[in-house]
Amino acid sequence: MIIKTSTHVLAGLALTALTVGAVVAQSPSINTATFQADGAVHVPQDYRTWVFVGAPLTPNTLNGGSAPFPEFHNVYVEPSAFEHWSATGTWADGTQIAKELVTIRTNDTTDPATGASSEVSGVGYFQGDFVGLELTVKDTVRYAEEPGGWAYFSFGHDGEPYATIAQAFPTDSCNACHEANADTDFVFTQFYPVLSAANPN
């Protein structure tokens, strides 16, 4: 009897293992970036349709007159990577996150002391023009040498049109600050409530 029960239990476990295997195999694959033979990444085409997760702003007027990135930082996560994040709270290999820089809109109400303008909703900061595009890609095989497998790119900080390709920055230029300060695997999830809501763990 005991042996029979064990057999059943074992068979049940085997079945469970098979089912789990099937679920893993069916998990959505990640849409990855495309690269040239020399390793340069192509500019993503459709990033403004990705999941918009936040827009940190560090204006010059609050940073001694000169912030490294005085514009809004509009951050977008590629949808399949977002889905994986929502399900697991981790960043999959292949994840792409774009950060587009958008000027603070000015008009004849703009106060030079604060950089803020008066609009119908109140006095504050409103978005103007697209002036820069950055990308980070996680690929622990292609970027095995980079901490966390994350590589960082810029397609320009002079406005559109952006460059069509970019080479990865050296580790110290970008990766090191992300490694030291970002909350979740090199990504500043602490500033993106859309991400913490999608996976509170």
Give me the residues that bind ligand HEC (CB under 6 A), please. Answer: 56, 58, 73, 75, 97, 99, 134-136, 152-154, 169, 173-174, 177-178, 182, 187-188, 191
Q: What is the DSSP letter of 125?
A: -
Block residue for tokens 């890609």: 137
Least Å distance, CB 170 to ligand HEC, is 9
Smallest gap from Cβ 174 to ligand HEC, in A, equals 3
Which of 131, 130, 133, 128 has the alpha carbon at shortest distance from 164?
A: 133
Q: Of 128 and 156, which CB lies nearer to ligand HEC in the complex structure?
A: 156
By beta-carbon proximity to ligand HEC, the closer residue of 55 and 118 is 55
In the chain, DSSP finds a helix count (H) and a strand count (E) of: 4, 9
**Distance between CA atoms of 7 and 5, rounded to whole angstroms?**
5
Nearer to ligand HEC, 20 or 159 (CB): 159
**Helix residue ranges, H only, 27-133:** 79-88
- Return the number of the residue (50 or 152) whose C-beta is nearest ligand HEC: 152
Question: What is the closest distance, in whole angstroms, from the C-beta atom of residue 96 to ligand HEC in the complex?
Answer: 9
Token pair recorded at residue 159: 């406005």
